[in-house]
Amino acid sequence: MFPSELTIRNVRIRPALVLAPMAGVTDTVFRHVIRGLGGCGLIMTEFTSSEGIARNRARSLHYLYFSEDEHPITAQLFGADPAVMAEAAGAVQDLGFDVVDINLGCPAKKVVKCGGSGLLRDLPLLKQILRDVRAAVTIPLTIKIRAGWDEKSIVATEVARMAEAAGVEAIAVHPRTRVQGLNGQANWSIIREVKQAVRIPVIGNGDVRRPEDAVRMAAETGCDAVMIGRAAATNPWIFRQIGQYLASGRYDEPMEADRYQLLSGYFRMLVESGMPDAIGKMKQFACWFTHGVRNGAVLRREVHSARTAAQVLERVDAFFAGVGAPAGGDA
Ligand SMILES: Cc1cc2nc3c(=O)[nH]c(=O)nc-3n(C[C@H](O)[C@H](O)[C@H](O)COP(=O)(O)O)c2cc1C
């Protein structure tokens, strides 16, 4: 059975599907696209440095910008100083976020030194952070973890129990180790173990690429919601497709025209938003998104060699004007 909704204290998440935080991807413009397509119950910001918020709140606010139609929305923080994390969580609450989340999964070297998955190796410090952040906010507090640092130190259930005792109200589990990065396969049995170890909701994450995977993850792990990352960037329709699949056992594939509309609409919004590095984001998204597009490699090359945002838009228009036919696979 797929959960019909997820409730994190007073926050109702329906359907029980969550957009995973992805640095450089899930900014307000991308989240807007996901909200617009429908089917996603909860969205999350990219991870944001607590030190950055404490040092220069005005500058960090840019990362934490969201619009009213994004609710319910979680802000994700990283950091390793309990007092700074508590201060940043307070700022997140003041900004009107529904939930604050602590990143315990980021494998990047410079983040590990100051939080992220590095905290999975220092549980006493993690406990202090959870306590201090919990005391600093009244909005729901969640965490997102990896399985552990490496395969010899799988701490997911231990961390989940500790978090529950500290007042954390839901936990997302991406069952890869820090050492694995995004390689290998997510070990969903760890999601099931965490689910069996705690009473708070458990959100399963990792390698959900198609609607069938989401349903299988819920069935195999008993998780209370499914979180999707990379597949949402390559196929932003996936949340809606899961709803269709649950209702009827089948789902629509986007047509070439839908892909064109989405890509050009998203790029235009990026330019209009005045987002720093809009062109970099366009290039990155084009790379992810065009894997399902016929002759996607051609479009990727065209977008990558563009020098201005206007040129990117022109090339996207020209590419799709020449395609016309129904969607097929990437060449
Ligand atoms: C480009 C990229 C950026 C990411 N940034 C974050 C982040 O800011 N915070 C976080 O908790 N996880 C981050 N992740 C991990 C994802 O949230 C997710 O756990 C991981 O991609 C596995 O899920 P998936 O198989 O559905 O992609 C990132 C992943 C990618 C690919």
Classify residue 48: in a domain, yes or no. yes
Regarding whether 318 and 226 lie in a shared domain, the answer is no
Contact present, 292 and 236 (Cβ < 8 Å): no
Regarding whether 299 and 220 lie in a shared domain, the answer is no
Contact present, 224 and 193 (Cβ < 8 Å): no
Using CB distances shorter than 6 Å, the residues near ligand 1 are: 20-25, 46-47, 76, 103, 105-106, 144, 174, 205-208, 228-231
Tally of CB atoms within 10 A around 163: 25
Classify residue 142: in a domain, yes or no. yes
To which residue do tokens 């552990």 refer?
148
Classify residue 1: in a domain, yes or no. no
Whose C-alpha lies nearest to ligand 1, atom 10?
Answer: 21
In which domain, by residue range, is 182 found?
Answer: 6-248
Phi-psi region of 207 (alpha: psi -120 to 50; beta: other; left: phi over 0): left
To which residue do tokens 């998440």 refer?
13
Residue to probe by mutation, ligand 1, list 17, 18, 22, most atoms within 8 Å of CB: 22
Q: Name the β-bridge partners of 19.
A: 228
Q: Which atom of ligand 1 is nearest to the CA of 20?
A: 17
Whose C-alpha lies nearest to ligand 1, atom 19?
Answer: 174
Whose C-alpha lies nearest to ligand 1, atom 15?
Answer: 22
Q: Of 248, 272, 293, which one is at a domain's C-terminal end?
A: 248
Residue to probe by mutation, ligand 1, list 48, 174, 291, most atoms within 8 Å of CB: 174
pLDDT digits (tens), the chain, 331 positions: 899 999 999 999 999 999 999 998 999 999 999 999 999 999 999 999 999 999 887 777 878 999 999 999 999 999 999 999 999 999 999 999 999 999 999 888 878 778 899 999 999 999 999 999 999 999 999 999 999 999 999 999 999 999 999 999 999 999 999 999 999 999 999 999 999 999 999 999 999 999 999 999 999 999 999 999 999 999 999 999 999 999 999 999 998 889 999 999 999 999 998 887 888 988 888 888 887 778 889 999 999 999 998 999 999 999 988 665 444 444 3
Whose C-alpha lies nearest to ligand 1, atom 2?
Answer: 22
Regarding whether 271 and 221 lie in a shared domain, the answer is no
Spacing, Cα 276 to ligand 1 middle (Å): 21
Classify residue 330: in a domain, yes or no. no
Contact present, 130 and 123 (Cβ < 8 Å): no
Select from 20, 76, 7, 6 the least CA-distant residue to 218: 6
Whole-model pTM: value is 0.95
Structure tokens at 73: 């929305």
